[in-house]
Amino acid sequence: MKENNFKKNIAVITFPLINNYGGIIQAYALMSVLTQLGHNPTLINLKSEKRYISVTKYIFKKYFLFFLKKYRQVTLTVKDRKLEEFVNKYIESKSASIWNSKQLHRHFMSKKYDVCIVGSDQVFAKMGYPKFENDYSLGFVDDETKKLSYAASFGGSDFLGDISSVNYHKENLSRFAGVSVREKSAVQVCFERFNVNAKHVLDPTMLIDKKHYISIINSPLEQLEEKKLFAYVLDSDWEKNNQMSQFADRKGMTINQVNDGNSSKNIISMQQWLGSIYFSEHVITDSFHGCVFCIIFNKPFNCFVNKKRGADRFYSLLAMFGLENRIINSDINDDLIDWVSVNSKLEKYKKDSLNFLDSNL
């Protein structure tokens, strides 16, 4: 990766890094890419809920409502500290904690950045986040700071805001030096809704070599002799579980299943999550980033299209690599994947995506 001779101080704004493997690893990847390009990135450390508030809720539900049966099994809403440890170790350059829009705006008034990048993830879905409403089109950032989006997503095939919201963000996006989006359909949304020309690029996790992720795993204990089917299913149900069980039985595999970290007690570290994909025999997932890392690691996989969390991103990603047949309908297709072709396309898209960043920085 070519280094830039003109080092920029870059602010990176994305969703708060909570119990979401994909959200955390994409932030790590974008920060790593910007560093490798020779710049000085800082993650703007947005927070969704103060820890003491979550702990207070937990204590109240666990003890004061103990005699209500539905609360006897309540679990702490601030999840496993392993994910927090990963963020602290691998994303070292972060701003002070920022809890709301007022603090965010004040931070940018007091701190000078050359560039502000918003993305990746579904940052364009509502152009905001609770306590940071309307902030993701960067209207609060002065025009002396170059503004970009990288692999921003609408979460679906359109922007669902009202006319006043569209007009507000349209004005803000017109001040961007460059707009890039994660889904192909988002290029059309940007043009039709906001009169902005956008570039279709790769998710930032796909811009760095897989050796970076392998070095993070750094645990030979993850590699087991038995054949493992890693089922990373955010929204499981009986039908999905039944299909996976039948497939595992047919292939002689044991199932290692992990669900959404926000609704399950089965929380694993980022290292374990990456290792579970890397060392598995096969992966079944309904996660966008689950699919992404199967492609990065050249791991046989299938996916349920998770319409609840946004279907368009699956279709867009899989179409880029000719992998539409990995979508699970009535059967699970375990035909061999032409990884030579997939990797060739990945290198092409990677070069194109890096060029967007490099040229706009």
What pLDDT is stored for residue 59 in this prediction? 47
What pLDDT is stored for residue 225 in this prediction? 57
Is there a single domain that holds both residue 201 and residue 251?
no
* For residues 273-293, average pLDDT: 96
Burial class (CB in 10 A: 0-12, 13-18, 19+), 73: exposed
How far apart (Å, rounded) are the C-alpha atoms in residues 49 and 311? 28
- The answer to whether position 342 is within a domain reads yes
| Structural contact between residues 193 and 166, judged by C-beta atoms closer than 8 angstroms | yes
Phi, psi of 99 (to 5 degrees): -105, -15
CATH number at 267 reads 3.40.50
Is there a single domain that holds both residue 82 and residue 142?
yes
Q: Mention every residue, 6+ apart, whose C-beta is less than 8 A from residue 83.
A: 17, 19, 21, 24, 261, 267, 269, 270
Q: ω before 344 within 30° of 0 (cis)? A: no
Is there a single domain that holds both residue 180 and residue 192?
yes
How far apart (Å, rounded) are the C-alpha atoms in residues 26 and 182? 12
What pLDDT is stored for residue 81 in this prediction? 83
What pLDDT is stored for residue 111 in this prediction? 95
How far apart (Å, rounded) are the C-alpha atoms in residues 290 and 274? 9
What pLDDT is stored for residue 191 in this prediction? 98
- The answer to whether position 69 is within a domain reads no
What pLDDT is stored for residue 80 in this prediction? 63
Instruction: Report the share of the chain in percent with pLDDT over 70.
Output: 86
Is there a single domain that holds both residue 195 and residue 221?
no
In the chain, how many domains are there?
2
How far apart (Å, rounded) are the C-alpha atoms in residues 116 and 121? 16
Q: What is the DSSP string of 124-156?
A: TSSS--TTSTT-TT-TTS-TTSEEEEEEE--SS
What pLDDT is stored for residue 227 in this prediction? 83
Query: Residue 118 — very low, low, confident or very high, per pLDDT cuts 50/70/90?
Result: very high
* For residues 91-118, average pLDDT: 97
Q: What are the pLDDT digits (tens) for 243-259?
A: 999 999 999 999 999 88
Tokens 């508030």 identify what position?
A: 53
How far apart (Å, rounded) are the C-alpha atoms in residues 34 and 85? 22
For 39-122, strand residue ranges (E) read 40-43, 115-118
What pLDDT is stored for residue 224 in this prediction? 52
pLDDT at residue 231 tops 80: yes
How far apart (Å, rounded) are the C-alpha atoms in residues 315 and 117? 25
Is there a single domain that holds both residue 153 and residue 297?
no
Other residues' Cβ atoms within 10 Å of the Cβ of residue 285: 26
Query: Residue 1 — very low, low, confident or very high, per pLDDT cuts 50/70/90?
Result: low
What pLDDT is stored for residue 263 in this prediction? 53
pLDDT at residue 61 tops 50: no
- The answer to whether position 67 is within a domain reads no
What pLDDT is stored for residue 77 in this prediction? 31
What pLDDT is stored for residue 62 in this prediction? 45
Q: Write the single-letter amino acid at 85.
A: E
What pLDDT is stored for residue 308 in this prediction? 78
Name the helix (H) or strand (E) containing 194. helix 184-194
What pLDDT is stored for residue 148 in this prediction? 98
Q: Mention every residue, 6+ apart, whose C-beta is less than 8 A from residue 25.
A: 205, 270, 274, 289
Is there a single domain that holds both residue 275 and residue 157?
no
Is there a single domain that holds both residue 246 and residue 332?
yes
What pLDDT is stored for residue 5 in this prediction? 59
Rounded to a whole number of angstroms, the CA Rg of the chain reads 21
Q: What are the pLDDT digits (tens) for 323-348?
A: 999 999 888 999 999 999 999 999 99
* For residues 90-97, average pLDDT: 96
Across the chain, mean pLDDT equals 88
| Domain around 133 | 9-51+78-207+348-360
Sign of CA dihedral 140, 144, 150, 156: positive
- The answer to whether position 58 is within a domain reads no
- The answer to whether position 222 is within a domain reads yes
Burial class (CB in 10 A: 0-12, 13-18, 19+), 195: exposed
- The answer to whether position 62 is within a domain reads no
| Prediction pTM value | 0.89
Phi, psi of 67 (to 5 degrees): -80, -5
For the chain, strand residue ranges (E) read 9-13, 40-43, 115-118, 146-152, 178-181, 199-200, 228-232, 254-258, 282-285, 301-303
What pLDDT is stored for residue 4 in this prediction? 55
Q: What are the pLDDT digits (tens) for 345-359?
A: 999 999 999 999 999
Is there a single domain that holds both residue 157 and residue 17?
yes
Longest dimension (CA), the chain: 64
How far apart (Å, rounded) are the C-alpha atoms in residues 217 and 270? 8
Encode burial over 32-67: b for 16+ CB neighbours within 10 A, e otherwise. bbbbbbbbebbbbbbbeeeeeeeeeeeeebeeeeee
The candidate with the shortest Cα–Cα distance to 235, out of 270, 254, 256, 263, is 263
pLDDT at residue 270 tops 80: yes
pLDDT at residue 232 tops 60: yes
- The answer to whether position 57 is within a domain reads no
CATH number at 45 reads 3.40.50.11930
Is there a single domain that holds both residue 124 and residue 201?
yes
Is there a single domain that holds both residue 37 and residue 156?
yes
Mean pLDDT lowest among 3-12, 23-32, 128-137, 190-199: 3-12
Q: Is 311 helix (H, G, I), strand (E, B) or coil?
A: coil
* For residues 190-208, average pLDDT: 98
- The answer to whether position 3 is within a domain reads no
Tokens 């992404």 identify what position?
A: 292
Is there a single domain that holds both residue 258 and residue 303?
yes
Is there a single domain that holds both residue 272 and residue 234?
yes
